[in-house]
């Protein structure tokens, strides 16, 4: 006679199945916990100094952080409403798919490459300077930050809003056409209600990305008047070496991001975003000529905005002495370091994501329809919470924790690989989970009956199904890790340089030709990986 465990208790077989997931959660906890330990130890080690660091300078920076994020959000999301609407009104013109592809590219482009592209275009010696005539001021400072943020977030917001518009049932469009609604009423009665539902989430996501933006502000922000908390953390550790101030700035940044995320969660925003967008067609509406012209203008401006920094990167990059750069040992070794770290990081990311996805599915299956347990929720969204603690914050905490014990620069590879792996996890989980869950639903009973388990199950049943989403996640995680200039900015040294770090160095020493060449290389690497991820993701469906 067998007795089944109660619904809450976890059976031994479930426990065995979720052990890897628990280990992954433990790893995340260690990474974040270690950072907090470093902050707390440093803060309480010198409490008066840490409290003293909360001065008017710090609050001015906090205010600027929020201000630039607010402006960036407005400038990205408001035009995105027009762009998304234009794309939705014309569901089948030549080049539409191309525009959507183009709008997916900034997501793949490392921030430092985009920053360089914008400088190449609008900097003091940029492509635009001769057209303006003498006295072109360049776009350092707030204007530069805003342009870069709009470059990244306008396409993102457009894609998300378009997705919202495409949830409107085809019958409603037909109805609107039948009732003879003009553009104005269609917007008011059909399009706006659909977009308004998505708007808080979209705006929240963009705001969050801008609050935690580091690379853009570091490279385009001009001096003390245009600095954000993230950059202040970096400066207090790498330049002023003022640990007390670093603690204060980091703490404020954590509080700020936690607040923003709490608001976001209430708005129901999806912080992890999505790399793919279905290109669906529906019954075409027939806008008037005047509206068509207006929409064409809106799209043209958006395309120029997104395309021109990338074009400038390519133009300047090709002007650089690429052959010399390719032969340079520093470039070669940075490329190898970057690729090596990205490989480690993405494999680690996949292993952890798989463990969590499999563990969550196991827990969900074991509980049937009773309410989700805390553990299952942690398996589900636990990885998402790492977004509260931006890479710089984790790096800063560990930097403070380790600096008295070991040479902090020697742990750069471990920190870079681990932090980037964890940062890519929310995206990887989103890529893997649908395929995995669907396969589990179909195969669990059959496998149990036929005695297919363990290695056989992985080899014969699960792997063939999730191979493609895994490859998508792998390419995505690699691209993210390759382009990252967060942790490496803190831990990098002459001994351990990645491509973005090398690029930052060349920019700092005004070797702009070199920088442009490296940016081109890095941009191509990341775009290539992202296109691969996108392609694998598409054919998987």
Partner 1 sequence: MTGAAVKLENVSFGYDETRVLFNVEIQAGTIAAVMGPSGAGKTTLLNLIAGFERPESGSVWIGNSDVTGIGPADRPVSMVFQENNLFAHLTVEQNVGLGRSPSLRLTDADRIAIRGALARTGLEGKEARLPSELSGGERQRVALARALVRNRPVLLLDEPFASLGPALREDMLELLIDLHREQNMTVLMVTHQPDDARKIAQSMIFVEEGKVAATGNANLFFGPDAPQAFRRYIGV
**CB neighbourhood size of 235 (10 A):** 18
Place of tokens 């090709």: 318
The span from the CA of 207 to the CA of 429, in Å, is 23
DSSP string, 233-294: HHHHHHTS--HHHHHHHHHHHHHHHHHHHHHHHHHT--TT--S-------PPP---HHHHHH
Closest CA to 31 of 355, 272, 347, 386: 386
Shortest spacing between CB 7 and partner 1, in angstroms: 8
Site size toward partner 1, by CB under 8 A: 24
Q: How many angstroms from the chain centroid is the CA of residue 190?
A: 31
Shortest spacing between CB 426 and partner 1, in angstroms: 28
- State both tokens at 537: 């993701």
Using CB under 8 A as the binding rule, whether residue 167 contacts partner 1 is answered as no
State the number of CA atoms in the 13 A half-sphere of 102 facing the CB: 19
Shortest spacing between CB 19 and partner 1, in angstroms: 19
Applying CB under 8 A, among 451, 494, 510, 539 the residue interacting with partner 1 is 451
Using CB under 8 A as the binding rule, whether residue 94 contacts partner 1 is answered as no
Task: Please report, in angstroms and rounded to a whole number, the separation of the first and last CA atoms in the chain.
Answer: 46
Judge whether 325 and 317 are in contact, CB under 8 Å. no
Closest CA to 204 of 156, 168, 166: 156
**CB neighbourhood size of 234 (10 A):** 23
Judged by CB under 8 A, the stretch of 66-74, 75-83, 180-188, 452-460 that binds partner 1 is: 452-460
The span from the CA of 257 to the CA of 210, in Å, is 11
Applying CB under 8 A, among 452, 458, 524, 531 the residue interacting with partner 1 is 452
Using CB under 8 A as the binding rule, whether residue 174 contacts partner 1 is answered as no
Applying CB under 8 A, among 282, 319, 443, 511 the residue interacting with partner 1 is 443
Place of tokens 């490859």: 471
Q: Which is nearer to partner 1, 368 or 405 (CB)?
A: 368
Q: Which is nearer to partner 1, 184 or 368 (CB)?
A: 368
x-or-dash string of contact with partner 1, 320-359, rule CB under 8 A: ----------------------------------------
211 secondary structure, DSSP code: H
Shortest spacing between CB 362 and partner 1, in angstroms: 15
Judged by CB under 8 A, the stretch of 246-254, 453-461, 491-499, 521-529 that binds partner 1 is: 453-461
Judge whether 499 and 215 are in contact, CB under 8 Å. no
Judged by CB under 8 A, the stretch of 349-357, 413-421, 456-464, 498-506 that binds partner 1 is: 456-464
The span from the CA of 400 to the CA of 45, in Å, is 11
Helix axes 499-508, 329-367, angle to 10 degrees: 130
- State both tokens at 194: 């659909």
Using CB under 8 A as the binding rule, whether residue 75 contacts partner 1 is answered as no
Using CB under 8 A as the binding rule, whether residue 539 contacts partner 1 is answered as no
Shortest spacing between CB 470 and partner 1, in angstroms: 14
Shortest spacing between CB 369 and partner 1, in angstroms: 5
The span from the CA of 476 to the CA of 481, in Å, is 9
Applying CB under 8 A, among 78, 307, 326, 450 the residue interacting with partner 1 is 450
Judged by CB under 8 A, the stretch of 109-117, 393-401, 429-437, 438-446 that binds partner 1 is: 438-446
Q: Which is nearer to partner 1, 268 or 464 (CB)?
A: 464
Residue 532 CA: distances (Å) to CA of 156, 351, 469: 19, 20, 11
Buried b (16+ CB within 10 A) or exposed e, 433-467: bebbbebbeebeeebeeeebeeeebeeebbeebbe
Using CB under 8 A as the binding rule, whether residue 134 contacts partner 1 is answered as no
Using CB under 8 A as the binding rule, whether residue 182 contacts partner 1 is answered as no
Using CB under 8 A as the binding rule, whether residue 9 contacts partner 1 is answered as no
Find the angle CA(147)-CA(150)-CA(155) to the nearest 5 degrees.
145
Judge whether 167 and 194 are in contact, CB under 8 Å. yes
Shortest spacing between CB 24 and partner 1, in angstroms: 27
Judged by CB under 8 A, the stretch of 55-63, 256-264, 330-338, 458-466 that binds partner 1 is: 458-466
Q: Which is nearer to partner 1, 6 or 133 (CB)?
A: 6
Shortest spacing between CB 3 and partner 1, in angstroms: 7
Find the angle CA(78)-CA(158)-CA(481) to the nearest 5 degrees.
115
Shortest spacing between CB 370 and partner 1, in angstroms: 7
Judged by CB under 8 A, the stretch of 54-62, 73-81, 190-198, 442-450 that binds partner 1 is: 442-450
Applying CB under 8 A, among 80, 198, 264, 461 the residue interacting with partner 1 is 461
The span from the CA of 291 to the CA of 294, in Å, is 5
Applying CB under 8 A, among 52, 130, 340, 464 the residue interacting with partner 1 is 464
Shortest spacing between CB 452 and partner 1, in angstroms: 4
Using CB under 8 A as the binding rule, whether residue 304 contacts partner 1 is answered as no
- State both tokens at 523: 């941009």
Applying CB under 8 A, among 223, 370, 374, 510 the residue interacting with partner 1 is 370
Using CB under 8 A as the binding rule, whether residue 368 contacts partner 1 is answered as yes
Using CB under 8 A as the binding rule, whether residue 7 contacts partner 1 is answered as yes
Shortest spacing between CB 475 and partner 1, in angstroms: 22
Q: Which is nearer to partner 1, 300 or 446 (CB)?
A: 446
Judge whether 146 and 71 are in contact, CB under 8 Å. yes
- State both tokens at 275: 């790399």
Using CB under 8 A as the binding rule, whether residue 369 contacts partner 1 is answered as yes
Applying CB under 8 A, among 182, 448, 495, 508 the residue interacting with partner 1 is 448
Closest CA to 253 of 118, 121, 157, 389: 389
Q: Which is nearer to partner 1, 315 or 465 (CB)?
A: 465
Footprint of partner 1 on this chain (CB under 8 A)? 1-4, 7, 368-370, 442-443, 445-446, 448-453, 456, 459-461, 464-465
């Amino acid at each position: 006679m067998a007795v089944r465990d109660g619904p809450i208790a976890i059976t031994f077989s479930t426990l065995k199945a979720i052990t890897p997931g628990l280990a992954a959660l433990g790893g995340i906890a260690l990474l974040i916990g270690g950072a907090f330990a470093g902050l707390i130890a440093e803060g309480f080690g010198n409490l008066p100094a840490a409290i003293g660091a909360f001065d008017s300078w710090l609050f001015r920076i906090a205010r600027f952080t929020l201000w630039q994020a607010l402006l960036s959000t407005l400038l990205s999301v408001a035009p995105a409403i027009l762009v998304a609407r234009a794309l939705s009104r014309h569901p089948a013109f030549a080049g539409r798919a191309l525009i959507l592809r183009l709008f997916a590219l900034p997501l793949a482009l490392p921030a430092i490459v985009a920053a360089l592209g914008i400088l190449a275009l609008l900097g003091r010696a940029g492509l635009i300077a001769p057209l303006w005539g003498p006295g072109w001021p360049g776009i350092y400072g707030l204007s530069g930050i805003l342009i870069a943020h709009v470059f990244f977030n306008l396409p993102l917001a457009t894609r998300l809003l378009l997705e919202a518009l495409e949830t409107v049932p085809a019958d409603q469009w037909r109805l609107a056409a039948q009732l003879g609604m003009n553009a104005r009423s269609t917007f008011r009665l059909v399009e706006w209600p659909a977009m308004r539902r998505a708007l808080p989430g979209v705006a929240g996501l963009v705001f969050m990305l801008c609050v935690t933006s580091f690379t853009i502000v570091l490279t385009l922000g001009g001096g003390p008047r245009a600095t954000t908390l993230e950059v202040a953390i970096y400066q207090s550790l790498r330049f002023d070496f003022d640990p007390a101030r670093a603690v204060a700035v980091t703490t404020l940044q954590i509080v700020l991001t936690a607040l923003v995320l709490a608001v976001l969660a209430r708005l129901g925003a999806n912080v992890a975003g999505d790399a793919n967008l279905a290109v669906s067609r529906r019954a075409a509406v027939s806008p008037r000529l005047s509206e068509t012209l207006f929409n064409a203008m809106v799209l043209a401006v958006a395309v120029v905005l997104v395309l021109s920094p990338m074009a400038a990167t390519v133009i300047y990059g090709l002007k650089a002495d690429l052959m010399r750069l390719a032969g340079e040992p520093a470039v070669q070794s940075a490329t190898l370091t970057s690729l090596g770290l990205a490989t480690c990081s993405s494999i680690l990311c996949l292993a952890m994501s798989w463990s969590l996805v499999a563990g969550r599915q196991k827990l969900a299956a074991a509980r049937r329809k009773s309410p989700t347990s805390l553990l299952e929720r942690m398996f589900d969204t636990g990885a998402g919470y790492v977004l509260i603690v931006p890479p710089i914050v984790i790096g800063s905490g560990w930097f403070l924790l380790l600096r008295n014990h070991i040479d902090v620069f020697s742990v750069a590879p471990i920190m870079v690989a681990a932090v980037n792996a964890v940062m890519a996890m929310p995206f990887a989980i989103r890529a893997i989970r649908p395929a995995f869950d669907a396969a589990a639903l179909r195969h669990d009973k059959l496998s149990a009956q036929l005695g297919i388990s363990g290695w056989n199950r992985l080899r014969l049943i699960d792997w063939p199904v999730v191979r493609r989403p895994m490859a998508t996640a792998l390419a995505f995680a690699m691209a993210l890790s390759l382009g990252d200039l967060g942790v490496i900015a803190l831990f990098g040294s002459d001994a351990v340089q990645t491509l973005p770090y090398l690029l930052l160095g060349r920019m700092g020493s005004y070797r702009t030709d070199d920088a442009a060449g490296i940016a081109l290389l890095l941009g191509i690497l990341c775009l290539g990986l992202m296109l691969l991820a996108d392609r694998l993701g598409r054919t998987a469906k």
